[in-house]
Amino acid sequence: MSHPTVTVRIRDALRYAQRRAAQLGRTQQLELGEDLFIRIAPGGRKFLLFCLDGEPDQATARAIAEVLGLHNPQYGWHQGATLRSLTVIETGAEELG
């Protein structure tokens, strides 16, 4: 049985994932584009962007931080074993875990 395709605005999808991260206390991951992904951390006040081939740009991170309503976000980089991710953390969210 196939399910109908539903079109959702990216802003709505991001805010929905942020609410789920806060309510469930679990990381939520979305595919934002052909090679762009976001992981919203539990609590919904920090996230990371990554690409499977390349690096995300800070302009995209700033736009997402604005959509998610982060106050005074701090930007940085995290180098994993195979991917380099752009991290965004709302000031004070690091104490939340």
Contact between residue 46 and residue 35 where contact means Cβ atoms under 8 Å apart: no
Average pLDDT along the chain: 91
Q: CB count, 10 Å around CB of 5?
A: 5
Res 96 pLDDT > 60? no
Per-residue pLDDT, averaged over 77-81, amounts to 90
Name residue 37's beta-bridge partners.
31, 50
Domain locations in the chain? 10-96
The reported pLDDT for the residue numbered 82 is 87
For residues 14 and 17, give the distance between their C-alpha atoms in angstroms, rounded to a whole number: 5
C-alpha–C-alpha distance, residues 54 and 32, integer Å: 15
Residue owning tokens 């789920």: 20
User: What is the per-residue pLDDT across 18-51, written as a single tens digit (0 to 9) for each?
Assistant: 999 999 999 999 999 889 999 999 999 999 999 9
Q: Is the pLDDT of residue 8 over 90?
A: no
Residues 16 and 39: their CA atoms lie apart, in Å, by 13
